[in-house]
Chain A
Amino acid sequence: AQKVTQAQTEISVVEKEDVTLDCVYETRDTTYYLFWYKQPPSGELVFLIRRNSFDEQNEISGRYSWNFQKSTSSFNFTITASQVVDSAVYFCALSEARGNTGFQKLVFGTGTRLLVSP
């Protein structure tokens, strides 16, 4: 069975600090996708990144970066120079890659609440 663990329930930082959100996953599949979503206080889900299991290159997008390590089954997310607007709950998720079925059943972690204070 697939499982996603986000051990950090809540993290508090002061603006401009760097912060890393941990994500550890379990799957028997050799091909899968990993995702990060942001859920701000308004409640919607904002897609941040999707990563294929065959692509272990780290990715950087502005202040966001992701470290995918298959050897440790981790897909950690770092925010550099955090801002108050980064305050949200962040979810890591995992899905199987089922060929051309179009099926994207996501298994979510329980989320990490990030509080960035001025």
Chain B
Amino acid sequence: NAGVMQNPRHLVRRRGQEARLRCSPVKGHSHVYWYRQLPEEGLKFMVYLQKENIIDESGMPKERFSAEFPKEGPSILRIQQVVRGDSAAYFCASSPRQGDSMNTEAFFGQGTRLTVV
């Protein structure tokens, strides 16, 4: 059962360090989405990527946050110089290629819980 795999599941970083969150989409899926869930809140869209392209990053904070989805390998959400307010659960979702996605839902990973101390 090769669903969306996120790692690590839990990540602790000190203020000022970098956090790297990885997401391997369902095999064959070429679209990846990152969402952030702050404590006691719903999920908020951050960024949508296709292989080697950022399509929509309207939900990404302007500074310190970046995302990539290279031709080979997982998608990476990178947070530089983390602050306590970055503590949240970060979820990745994937969906099939163009044309197929109308008949399915986005598959979510189990999330990475980032704690900044």
Contacts and interface: CB of A to CB of B under 8 A. Distances in A.
Interface string A44-72: 11010010000000000000000000000
Interface in B85-114: 89, 91, 93, 95-102, 105-111, 113
A98 B110 CA distance: 26
Interface stretch (B11-19, B20-28, B38-46, B67-75): B38-46
B38 to A, nearest CB: 10
A109 B37 CA distance: 11
A105 B45 CA distance: 7
Interface residues of B, number: 32
Nearest to A99: B102
Contact of B95 (A37, A100, A102): A102
Interface string A97-111: 100111111111111
Contacts of B45: 105-107
B55 A45 contact: no
B75 to A, nearest CB: 15
Determine which residue in A102, A104, A107 has the highest number of CB atoms from chain B within 10 A of its CB, and name it. A102
Contacts of A43: 89, 110-111, 113
Report the interface size class on chain A.
20 to 34
A60 B34 CA distance: 30
Interface in A86-117: 91, 93, 97, 100-111
A93 to B, nearest CB: 8
Contacts of B105: 35, 47, 50, 104
Nearest to A39: B37
Interface string A8-35: 0000000000000000000000000001
Interface of A: 4, 35, 37, 43-45, 47, 50, 91, 93, 97, 100-111
Given A37-B108, A102-B50, A107-B45, 6 more contacts: A100-B99, A102-B97, A102-B98, A106-B43, A106-B106, A111-B42
12 contacts: A35-B105, A45-B108, A47-B105, A101-B98, A102-B97, A102-B98, A102-B100, A103-B101, A104-B95, A104-B105, A106-B43, A106-B45
